[in-house]
Copies of this chain bind each other. A is one copy, B any other.
Amino acid sequence: VSRRYLLTIEYDGAPFVGWQRQDNGPSVQAVLEEAALSFCQHTVLVYGAGRTDSGVHALGQAAHVDLPRAYPDDTVRDALNAHMRASPVSVLNAQGVDDSVHARFSAVERRYLYRILARRAPPALERGRLWHVPAPLDAAAMHRAARALVGRHDFSTFRDSQCQADSPVRTLDGLSVSRRGDEVVVTSRAQSFLHRQVRSMVGTLVEVGTGRWHEGDVMNALMARDRQACGTVAPAHGLYLERVVYPASAGVSPNANDMA
C-alpha cells in the first residue's frame, strides 16, 4: 500500500527553469521525481505547494509524494538526498501524512522573503542570492508604504500579464520591511499570491526606498488596478519561498516546515 509523505525542501533556484517540470530545462520537481524513482524503482509525481519561477529560491518549499510503500520518515529524507547530491536541492524533512493532505490545496499560508543588498559595492559572497540596489534605501518609508497593500484587495497592478488566476483579488496577511545591516528584507505572507505579486510589490516599494516615489504613490498604484501602474519588478534571485503553513488538522508536525 502506498504512503503519502509531506516534504520540506530547500533549493537554490539559479540552475532551474523553476519548480515545475518543463521541456526547456531542469526543474526542481524533476530532480525530486528522479530521486524518488532511483530510491523506490517506481515512477511518482511530486506535487509542490507553489510553483516558484526560474531563479527563485526556497528555504522551505513544501511538496507531497505518494511512495509505493511505507518507509521511516528519516529514511525517505536521507534516501532522496543521497540521490540528489549533484543538484542544489535538499529535503530538510519528510513526514508521513494522511492521504487527505495535499501540499497545494491544504496549505493555509505561504511566506516569502525578499533580500535586497543596499550598498554601493556589489556582492561577492551573496552574488545571485539577493538583489543589489547600489543606493541608500529608506527601509522605514518602505515599511510605511507597504501598509497600504495589506488586506483584501484587487492586486491587478501587482500581477504579471501572464498570470492565469481567475481573480486578481487576494488577501495579503502581512508585508513588512526591515533593515539587517546592509540588507533590506521584505517579508510577505498570504494564503496565496498572484503570479509575480511579491516581486512586483517589492520592486514598487524600492521606488519608495530610493525616493523616486512618495509613500502615497503605492496606494495610488494599487487603486489604479492597472499593470502599467506597477513600479520595477524585482529580479527572481532575491526571492525565497520561506515557509508553507498547514492547519493543525493536517497533522503536520510543528518542526516539519519550520527548518528555515
- Alpha-carbon distance between A65 and B200 when the two chains are bound, in angstroms: 43
Partner of A127 from B12, B91, B124 at Cβ < 8 Å: B12
Please tell me if A77 contacts chain B, counting CB pairs below 8 Å. yes
Q: Which residues on B sit within 8 Å (CB–CB) of A74? A: 120
Report whether B121 and A92 are in contact in the complex, using a CB–CB cutoff of 8 Å. Answer: yes
Report whether B124 and A90 are in contact in the complex, using a CB–CB cutoff of 8 Å. Answer: yes
Please tell me if A11 contacts chain B, counting CB pairs below 8 Å. yes
Report whether B120 and A77 are in contact in the complex, using a CB–CB cutoff of 8 Å. Answer: yes
Please tell me if A78 contacts chain B, counting CB pairs below 8 Å. yes
Partner of A121 from B91, B119, B182 at Cβ < 8 Å: B91
Report whether B11 and A125 are in contact in the complex, using a CB–CB cutoff of 8 Å. Answer: yes
Please tell me if A204 contacts chain B, counting CB pairs below 8 Å. no
Q: Which residues on B sit within 8 Å (CB–CB) of A88? A: 124-125, 127
Q: List 24 A-B contacts (CB under 8 A).
A: A10-B125, A11-B124, A11-B125, A12-B124, A12-B127, A59-B125, A74-B120, A77-B120, A77-B121, A81-B121, A81-B122, A88-B124, A88-B125, A88-B127, A89-B124, A90-B121, A90-B123, A90-B124, A91-B121, A92-B119, A93-B121, A119-B259, A125-B129, A182-B259
Please give 12 more A-B residue pairs, beta carbons under 8 A apart, in addition to A90-B121, A92-B119, A119-B259: A10-B124, A10-B125, A11-B125, A57-B125, A74-B120, A77-B120, A78-B120, A81-B121, A88-B124, A89-B124, A91-B121, A121-B259
